[in-house]
Structure 1
Amino acid sequence: MSTRPGPAAVGADLALLSLDFHHTHQLLDPAAQGVQDWEVRIAAAGTQVGSVRAVRGLYWKSDNLRERMADEQSFPALVAVQLLDEEGRFTYEFEEFIESASSVLVLDRLQMDEAFADPLVVAVVVAAVIDRLTDNYFAVVLPAKNACTDAGSALLAEAGTLLSAQEFSDELQIIDNALAAPEEAAQRVRMRLRSLARHGQPAAWDEGDEEGDGWDEDGEEDEELTARTAAVLRAALEELSEQIWQDVAAVGDAPLGRGQGRVLGSLPPITFGQDQKWRRQMARCFDDLAADLAEKGTVRPLCTGEEMALHLGIDRAKSLTRNRPRLVAETVEGLGENRRDFDWDWCSTVLFEDHDVLMLFDASVDGVEDRGNEINQALGLANLAAADWFKPFRPRQARDRDRGFRHS
């Protein structure tokens, strides 16, 4: 069974995929107590492109879960026979197989339009259904190789493999929600689908790659920010600028105490003893980067201080897109959409020559900023000492020394 994304979804507008969950509960029907039948409709730009059935079997609410699930027929009936005994109790084999489960979620009857019939797409759909309909005490059951009776069940089986499901039998594979591996697998497939949506072709699949989005391509990559990405990054930098100037006014020359400074406190510890003059220059780094984005629509850090400011700006921009959708919508109003919008991992990779400054957060390499440090010399590090943060990397690209400060 392949665990690599297929080409079906290439060209489909994956960024517009959404799920609609449908379940009708009969308030006084005793048969509705133990089993819930959900239809999950998969849509792209409002048009349905697929569906999958999700059957929730609630052991603690059912009189006899085996008998009740068997009444659903097809795949849930097969699950009931293998996981539950005739009295409706979980079998010894199942309880030994699973970490801790009091309920099951069974997925079957998958139908997908050809453009979206891809194991990676289905895996992300399954992960979203799991997030919505289960908790850590659920076992999620998917078809295994001998239960693949059609294209939909085969896709579900491949999706299970991508999500670290374990084979319980030749017909069933199970995702144990109590374990960390399935959630880690879900994060990987989401990252790869996001890469596929943004770049228009499948990301490289590397099971050992736990960082990044799995994107790998030959040749030069477009290094221009999209208009919407630049706008949100600028908003993030401007927000951080306001905060760090408030920090500067509040702290002055005093050493930074524990918990002090919203932005100054998020810098590496080697900066905590710097004076107000240094802190004002650091604050200006945020202003300079925001001004570059306003003028050019792109940005490149020209010194170590600007590198740190840009790292913090990207982190804040990522947070804004996750937690402040209304603010983001206002910020990008009128700007054209692009499938590469808000790819903050890409920004972290492309907008920097290196990430050396982040070593200053690593206590295991304490002192790496010193030129005499062995690691510093071995790696050829430069301008990591706080006193050197505002020296330009390339003198010809240095900013105007007379540009002044936003605040006196």
Structure 2
Amino acid sequence: MSSRPGPASAGADLARLALTFHHTHQLLDPAAQGVQTWEVRITVADTQVGSLTAVRGLYWKSDNLRERMADEQSFPALVATQLLDEEGRFTYEFEEFIESASSVLVVDGLQLEEAFADPLIVAGVVAAVIDRLTDNYFAVVLPAQNACLGAGSALLAEAGALLSAQEFSDELQIIDNAPAAPEEAAQRVRSRLLSLARHGQPTAWDEEDSEGDGWDEDGEEDEELTARTAAVLRVALEELSEQIWLDIAAVGDAPLGRGEGRVLGSLPPITFHQDQQWRRQMARCFDDLAADLAKNGTVRPGCTGEEMALHLGIDRARALTRNRPRLVAEAVEGLGEDRRDFDWDWCSTVLFEDHDVLMLFDASLDGIEDSGNEINQALGLANLAAADWFDPFRPGQARDPDRGFRHP
């Protein structure tokens, strides 16, 4: 089985791949209750590059699901004869094979242009189809290696293996939607596809090797933010700045607890008893980073406080791209697209010299900020104590101490 796309698919425009689902339901046709046939068209920029067929066999809505699926002919008919008995009931072998399924989704009929004919891409398509057309009570049936239904069948067989399908027979493999393994496999497939779309090569399948994949087309490490990434990160930092200044106005010098306030309560516990002046300096870290992005289109944290602000900013930017698409669209309007846009994992890897400050969230490392702490000394940690958060890493590159604050 090939799990790495070849040169053709690596150069394909994966970021613009889209799926269109077509299904016509005859309102009063009793046969339409038991089986639904969906044509899934695969497009790039509104140009069709492939398709597949997904047949939903709904056990409880069918008079005899075996007869009804057999009437569809081809692969669904083969599935019907292996999974259902003459009375239309699931066979003992099938019920022993899965945890709990009341319906099946049969995926076949794949046709795909050569540039996209790769198991990883097909697995991503199938995972999206599963998300759209099933729930936890579906068994998803794909051709196995010996199904011999053509080139599309072979690709579906390889894609099924990537999605944790289990071989039921020489001709069928099944994804049981009830356990967690298929969804975990689907997430790995999506992650690798995203890496392929951004960098021209997927991350390693081994999750331990998946970090640090910010590489350009020539295999060189690329440390520049794309314009759209910088724009959304700036919006995130400005939003956090607004929130932390509201926190400061509300609490002043008062101590905080975990989760209290909008931003202050999301900092490490060692900061919860800092005074208002410390909190104002923390708020200025968000402002300074946002100003850097506005001026230079890039950002480098110059102190521990800025490192923490940038970590929170990246987390918020990630949330914006998932939950606020309209806001993101406004922020990036007029900016050229890049396949590396919104790669927040890459930002977390490349924009920092280390992630030492994140150890302050680990309760098992309580006291690690103390320069006399054994772990602190062993790892050569510096500037983790709250009092040191705003000391510049490189005094020669320190910010103007007279720059003031956004709010008096």
Q: 1:212-232 CA deviation, whole Å, 9 max, x = no partner?
A: 486778964111111111111
**Aligned partner letter, 2:202:** A
**Aligned partner letter, 2:28:** L
Mapped contact 2:164–2:181 kept (Cα < 8 A): yes
Which of 32-41 and 251-260 deviates more? 251-260
Q: Distance in 2 between matches of 1:220 and 1:362?
A: 34
Q: Distance in 1 between matches of 2:322 and 2:155?
A: 30
Compared CA separation, residues 145 and 91, structure 1 to 2 (3 A): same
Q: Distance in 1 between matches of 2:31 and 2:98?
A: 27
User: How far is the alpha carbon of 1:96 from its aligned partner?
Assistant: 1.0
**Aligned partner letter, 1:158:** E
What's the counterpart of residue 87 of structure 1? 87
Mapped contact 1:192–1:215 kept (Cα < 8 A): no
Q: 1:223-280 CA deviation, whole Å, 9 max, x = no partner?
A: 1111111111101100100000000110100001454211001111111111101100
Mapped contact 2:214–2:350 kept (Cα < 8 A): no
What's the counterpart of residue 319 of structure 1? 319
User: How far is the alpha carbon of 1:192 from its aligned partner?
Assistant: 0.9
What's the counterpart of residue 392 of structure 1? 392
What's the counterpart of residue 15 of structure 2? 15
What's the counterpart of residue 268 of structure 2? 268
SS where residue 193 of structure 1 aligns? helix
User: How far is the alpha carbon of 1:198 from its aligned partner?
Assistant: 0.9
Q: TM-score, normalised by structure 2?
A: 0.97
**Aligned partner letter, 2:105:** L
Within 5 Å, give how 1:199-348 maps onto structure 2: 199=199, 201-209=200-208, 212=211, 220-257=220-257, 259-348=259-348
Mapped contact 1:139–1:175 kept (Cα < 8 A): yes
Q: Distance in 2 between matches of 1:213 and 1:381?
A: 22
User: How far is the alpha carbon of 1:359 from its aligned partner?
Assistant: 1.0
Which of 289-298 and 143-152 deviates more? 143-152
**Aligned partner letter, 1:389:** W
User: How far is the alpha carbon of 1:281 from its aligned partner?
Assistant: 0.4
Q: Percent identity?
A: 85
SS where residue 50 of structure 2 aligns? strand
User: How far is the alpha carbon of 1:120 from its aligned partner?
Assistant: 0.9
User: How far is the alpha carbon of 1:321 from its aligned partner?
Assistant: 1.0
SS where residue 104 of structure 2 aligns? strand
**Aligned partner letter, 1:207:** D
Mapped contact 1:3–1:161 kept (Cα < 8 A): no
Q: Distance in 1 between matches of 2:241 and 2:235?
A: 10
SS where residue 8 of structure 1 aligns? helix
Q: Distance in 2 between matches of 1:213 and 1:48?
A: 34
Which of 74-83 and 300-309 deviates more? 74-83
Q: Which runs of 5+ in 2 are unaligned?
A: none
Q: Distance in 1 between matches of 2:10 and 2:391?
A: 46
Which of 103-112 and 354-363 deviates more? 354-363
Q: Distance in 2 between matches of 1:66 and 1:376?
A: 66
Compared CA separation, residues 182 and 209, structure 1 to 2 (3 A): farther
SS where residue 141 of structure 2 aligns? strand
Mapped contact 1:142–1:160 kept (Cα < 8 A): yes
Compared CA separation, residues 72 and 270, structure 1 to 2 (3 A): same
SS where residue 33 of structure 1 aligns? helix
Compared CA separation, residues 210 and 39, structure 1 to 2 (3 A): farther
SS where residue 39 of structure 1 aligns? strand
Q: Which runs of 5+ in 1 are unaligned?
A: none
Q: Distance in 2 between matches of 1:173 and 1:213?
A: 35
User: How far is the alpha carbon of 1:208 from its aligned partner?
Assistant: 4.5
What's the counterpart of residue 49 of structure 1? 49
- Alignment size in residue pairs: 407
**Aligned partner letter, 1:239:** E
Compared CA separation, residues 403 and 365, structure 1 to 2 (3 A): same
User: How far is the alpha carbon of 1:301 from its aligned partner?
Assistant: 0.2
Q: 1:104-152 CA deviation, whole Å, 9 max, x = no partner?
A: 1000000001111111111100000000000011111111111032110
Q: TM-score, normalised by structure 1?
A: 0.97
Q: Distance in 2 between matches of 1:258 and 1:340?
A: 34
What's the counterpart of residue 99 of structure 2? 99
